[in-house]
Amino acid sequence: MARLGMLIDLSTCIGCHACSVACKAEFDVPLGVFRDTVRTVEEGQYPKAAKHFVPVLCNHCEDAPCLDACPTGAITRLENGEVVIEEGDCNLNRFCMAACPYDAIYEDPEKNVAQKCTFCEHRTADGRQPACVDACPTGCRIFGDLDDPDSRISVTARENGTDVWKPEAGTRPRVLYVDPRRALPLIAADGVQMDTGADLAGE
Amino acid sequence: MPEPALAAQITPMENVPWGAPLALYFTLIGLPSGLTLILWWRAARPATAAVPGASPGGGGGEGWRLDWRAHWTVLALLTAAGALLVTDLGRPERFFLMLTAFGNWDSPISLGAKLIAVKSALLALALYLLWDLLWARRRAAGPGGGPLPAARGPARAVDRALPWLLGAASAALAVYPAAVLARTWVSPLAATPGAALLYLLTALLMGGAAVQLLLLWPPGGAAAEDPARRRFTLGLLTVYAAALFFAGISVADGTPARESLDALLNGGWSALFYGGVLGAGLLLPLLTLGLAGRRRWAQPAAAVGVLAGACALRFLIFAA
């Protein structure tokens, strides 16, 4: 069985949010919450200022804190490693949300259940790519089998070296980053969900 | 900008998943736990021991009156705790799912709901046995009544096991919030070595204070025990102060818990910490009991302070 994962090359992400929009459209994600988004972080000061774009999503961790936290067994790991939430079994106790160091799980205000990125399990089961991977105009996301040494994701990871987000959390993420400019430590205190309190109303 | 290694498990994320009902729940759940533990301890000690109450609850005298009131109080508080959980979850069937799902024993959050259910059932049984005992005594004291027969067989076993089962459920309920919160990024202080001990001590303090307040009526009913209760409360407060100090200095620099502790000592939570935890919860009762302990108002005043301080500390461990 494959061990699915994602590699994101930060040197080619342009922060266009095509992935975020594709994800929103794929799952009808409500306003104010995110399965997949792009963090923008600035570093340094003029004349040596830099701006980084870091796509963030559920890391489908090998040691997933959400999986251990869920008291009702609503969060499960599929055979291919994808961590998903069975909506019917979720009782919205929010322990998974509090346990996830990436803040990748949100409360769906319409369905009243916890939700998160599933690596587009419905698409990958058909052999297709996740929506965010298909939508990326620069191809900075690679999705595939981490256990297959000849897969594109494994080859790219081997050739470039990879980092993970918040390695100190000890969760062994399956979302890997090629991060030549060391942008990941700059968002070590952030999560997938963002403060949208200052946004204009969506309607 | 915080150090990257430090920042990951701090609580900078805006999307705090738990709101006021859970904050109130984790704060108040210590009260029914502590109240039962104090009653259990009191019942297990000889009447002359320095424990609060007029006489051992399991025997004769007026102890049954306190047990009766305290059990009903605990039952009401557990019902309120369940209601808070239902409010937080949104629908009663979700709370029911907490009770009936046994798939993941690693998840401590559902243990609270299960413990509440188990303890409520045990309390109902304890209240029934107490009611039955009182009726039997009345019948025995009336015309034609004889000596009260001792419980035998299964009844005796239940009679003996019930206080221990209640004590075990209460101890678990007092400490389990530390296990829940330690596994989140919400409450770094709950992951420190002293958190479970502080949760247990605050529960005991809350229980002792509640016993003190329950004994206010009828007036003078337990005046003979006042010095013992004063000594007990002072002793518990001393242990609490020591635990608070050593729990504080056990927090290492450069950790998320240190950030939270700094917020308590110098940051946004300092008013509640100094005013509530140290002022109302420690200094006020220590001074009141130490300097004016013989006055009738001293023990209730100290009890109110202890309750406020213990609540403040439990809330701060959750929220800071």
DSSP string across B222-234: TGGGHHHHHHHHH
Confidence (pTM) = 0.83
Nearest to B90 among A68, A72, A92 (CB): A92
A180 cis-preceded (ω within 30 degrees of 0): no
Residue B54, pLDDT > 70, answer no
B211 contacts B74 by C-beta, under 8 angstroms: no
| SS percent in chain B: helix, strand, coil, step 5 | 75, 0, 25
Mean of pLDDT over chain B: 83
> Is A95's Cβ below 8 Å from some Cβ in B?
yes
Query: Rounded to the nearest 5 degrees, what angle is found at the Cα of B115, between the Cα atoms of B110 and B119?
Result: 160
Q: How high is the pLDDT of residue B61?
A: 53
Nearest to A72 among B15, B103, B184 (CB): B103
> Is A92's Cβ below 8 Å from some Cβ in B?
yes
| Closest-CA distance of chain B to residue A30, Å | 15
Closest-CA residue of chain B to A75: B104
Chain A environment of B186 (Cβ under 8 Å): 98
Residue A61 binned pLDDT confidence (cut-offs 50, 70, 90): very high
Among the listed ranges A163-177, A180-194, B138-152, which one has the minimum average pLDDT value?
Answer: B138-152
Q: How far is CA A70 from the centre of its chain?
A: 19
Residue A149, pLDDT > 90, answer yes
Among the listed ranges A169-183, A186-200, B39-53, which one has the minimum average pLDDT value?
Answer: B39-53
The answer for residues whose C-beta is within 8 angstroms of residue B195's C-beta and 6 or more apart is B178, B181, B182, B189, B247, B317
Averaged over B182-211, what is the pLDDT? 91
Among the listed ranges A17-31, A95-109, B100-114, B256-270, which one has the minimum average pLDDT value?
Answer: B100-114
Do residue A69 and residue B110 have CB atoms under 8 angstroms apart? no
> Is A69's Cβ below 8 Å from some Cβ in B?
yes
Averaged over B89-118, what is the pLDDT? 87
Residue B9 binned pLDDT confidence (cut-offs 50, 70, 90): very low
Do residue A69 and residue B9 have CB atoms under 8 angstroms apart? no
Query: Which chain A residues in 109-128 lie under 8 Å from chain B, judged by CB atoms?
Result: 112
Q: How high is the pLDDT of residue B129?
A: 87
Q: What percent of chain B has pLDDT over 70?
A: 83
Closest-CA residue of chain A to B110: A71
Residue B228 binned pLDDT confidence (cut-offs 50, 70, 90): confident
Do residue B107 and residue A71 have CB atoms under 8 angstroms apart? yes
Q: How high is the pLDDT of residue B91?
A: 86
Helix extents (H) in B90-224: 92-100, 109-141, 153-182, 195-214
Chain B environment of A97 (Cβ under 8 Å): 15, 17
Nearest to A169 among B9, B15, B97 (CB): B9
Residue B13, pLDDT > 60, answer no
Nearest to A91 among B14, B89, B184 (CB): B89
Higher-pLDDT residue of A46 and B47 is: A46
Residue A35 carries which side chain, given as an amino acid letter? R
| Closest-CA distance of chain B to residue A36, Å | 15
Residue A199 binned pLDDT confidence (cut-offs 50, 70, 90): low
Nearest to B90 among A112, A166, A185 (CB): A112
Do residue A98 and residue B103 have CB atoms under 8 angstroms apart? no
Q: How high is the pLDDT of residue B52?
A: 47
Chain B environment of A92 (Cβ under 8 Å): 89-90, 94
Among the listed ranges A60-64, A123-127, B218-222, B247-251, which one has the minimum average pLDDT value?
Answer: B218-222
> Is A164's Cβ below 8 Å from some Cβ in B?
no
Closest-CA residue of chain A to B21: A93
Q: Which of B89, B180, B185, B186 to mutate to test the interface with A (most CBs of A within 10 A)?
A: B185
Q: What percent of chain A has pLDDT over 90?
A: 78
Query: CATH number of the domain at A4-192, out of 2.70.98.60, 3.30.70.20, 3.40.50.300, 3.90.1200.10?
Result: 3.30.70.20
Mean of pLDDT over chain A: 92
Do residue A93 and residue B94 have CB atoms under 8 angstroms apart? yes
> Is A166's Cβ below 8 Å from some Cβ in B?
yes
ipTM of the complex, rounded to two decimals: 0.80
Q: How high is the pLDDT of residue B1?
A: 42
Do residue B107 and residue A101 have CB atoms under 8 angstroms apart? no
A82 contacts A76 by C-beta, under 8 angstroms: no
Higher-pLDDT residue of B169 and B51 is: B169
A45 contacts A100 by C-beta, under 8 angstroms: no
> Is A68's Cβ below 8 Å from some Cβ in B?
yes
Averaged over B199-225, what is the pLDDT? 81
Residue B308, pLDDT > 60, answer yes
A32 contacts A38 by C-beta, under 8 angstroms: no
Residue B48 binned pLDDT confidence (cut-offs 50, 70, 90): very low
Among the listed ranges B46-60, B72-86, B168-182, B294-308, which one has the minimum average pLDDT value?
Answer: B46-60
Averaged over B52-63, what is the pLDDT? 47
Do residue B180 and residue A95 have CB atoms under 8 angstroms apart? yes
Give SS3 for A10: coil
